[in-house]
């Protein structure tokens, strides 16, 4: 009987509590986080020097000229004119957010044409390589500020009976923050 009476008292007390008090919902919580963003300096690339293979002469056999990223030529079945145009690797200047790594993207190949005119005699440029300023070896990763520039070398193929004349063409490189 005491139990019934106690149960009745408890139910009465609960019924007497104002309706505004409710049990807490412990199945969900919420929190707030801040949203932040930082706008950084755009990375830029400027051509400083063109790639120049210099004066070359065919040997009667297909050959090539490898131009290193330091501007040194290695000839295979090709002759050079010591008094001709001085060879040089291409050079590109880099600027952007200091101490931020960047990646260099090189083309697979390019074509140079006699007189720069498409459809005329041509030669193929392949095996592009890059060397950031601070590196002692070829690499495709640099650091803005540490590497204010990078150089690009490549290999040009010279045919056994390559047509005499000046050959011109373009190649594109790009960079992006890592």
Domain that holds residue 77: 44-177
Asked if 43 contacts 97 with a C-beta cutoff of 8 angstroms, the reply is yes
pTM of the model: 0.79
- Within a domain: 11: no
The answer to whether residue 31 sits within a structural domain is no
Contact between residue 40 and residue 97 where contact means Cβ atoms under 8 Å apart: yes
Instruction: Give 85's DSSP letter.
Output: P
Q: How many domains does the chain have?
A: 1
Tens digits of per-residue pLDDT, 25-75?
678 889 999 999 999 999 999 999 999 999 999 999 999 999 999 999 999
Token digits of residue 122? 């041509």
Q: Is residue 9 part of a domain?
A: no
Residue 27 belongs to some domain of the structure: no
Res 20 pLDDT > 90: no
| Inside any domain, residue 22 | no
Statement: residue 10 has pLDDT above 70: no
């Amino acid at each position: 009987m005491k139990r019934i009476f106690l149960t009745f008292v408890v139910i009465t007390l609960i019924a007497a509590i104002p309706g505004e008090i409710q049990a807490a919902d412990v199945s969900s919580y919420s929190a707030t986080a801040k949203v932040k963003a930082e706008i950084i300096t755009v990375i830029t690339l400027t051509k400083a020097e063109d790639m120049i293979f210099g004066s070359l002469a065919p040997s009667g056999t297909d050959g090539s000229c490898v131009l290193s990223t330091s501007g040194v030529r290695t000839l295979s079945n090709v002759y050079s004119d010591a008094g001709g145009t001085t060879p040089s690797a291409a050079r590109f200047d880099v600027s952007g957010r200091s101490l931020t790594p960047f990646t260099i993207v090189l083309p697979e190949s390019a074509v140079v044409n006699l007189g720069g005119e498409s459809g005329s005699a041509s030669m193929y440029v392949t095996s592009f390589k890059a060397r950031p300023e601070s590196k002692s070896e070829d690499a495709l990763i640099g650091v803005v500020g540490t590497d204010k520039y990078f150089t690009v070398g490549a290999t040009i193929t010279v045919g056994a009976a390559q047509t005499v004349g000046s050959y011109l063409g373009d190649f594109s490189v790009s960079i992006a923050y890592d």
